[in-house]
Amino acid sequence: MHNTYLRDLFNLHRSKVIFGILGLFMIAQESQAQGVGYRRKHLEYYDDKPIHYGILFAVPFTRFNIKHSNDFIPKDSAFVIQSPTNAAFRMGFIVNAFLTDHWDLRTTPSVSLYERNVKFSYPNGTDKTEKRESTWIEIPLLLKYKSLRRVNSRMYMLAGVTLGIETNVKRSRGGGAGRLDTKSSDFSVDYGVGYEQFFEFFKFSPELRFSHGLTNVFQPTKNSLGVGISKMTTHTVTLYLNFE
Domain that holds residue 94: 6-37+49-243
Q: Which of the pair, 178 or 184, is modelled with greater confidence?
A: 184
Q: Which of the pair, 179 or 48, is modelled with greater confidence?
A: 48
Asked whether the beta carbons of 20 and 13 are under 8 A apart, the reply is: no
Q: Is residue 122 part of a domain?
A: yes
Averaged pLDDT score across all residues of the chain: 86
Q: Is residue 44 part of a domain?
A: no
Q: Which of the pair, 123 or 33, is modelled with greater confidence?
A: 123
Which of the residue ranges 26-30, 96-100, 218-222 would you say has the lowest mean pLDDT? 26-30
pLDDT at 73: 84
pLDDT digits (tens, 9 = 90+) for 52-61: 999 999 999 9
Q: Is residue 76 part of a domain?
A: yes
Question: pTM (2 decimals)?
Answer: 0.81
Whether the pLDDT of residue 75 is over 70: the answer is yes
Q: Is residue 177 part of a domain?
A: yes
Q: Is residue 1 part of a domain?
A: no
Q: Is residue 43 part of a domain?
A: no
pLDDT digits (tens, 9 = 90+) for 217-244: 998 877 777 888 999 999 999 999 999 9
Q: Is residue 42 part of a domain?
A: no
- Give the total number of structural domains in the chain: 1
Q: How many residues does the chain have?
A: 244
pLDDT classification of 5: cutoffs 50, 70, 90: very low
Specify the CATH number for the domain of residue 77. Answer: 2.40.160.20
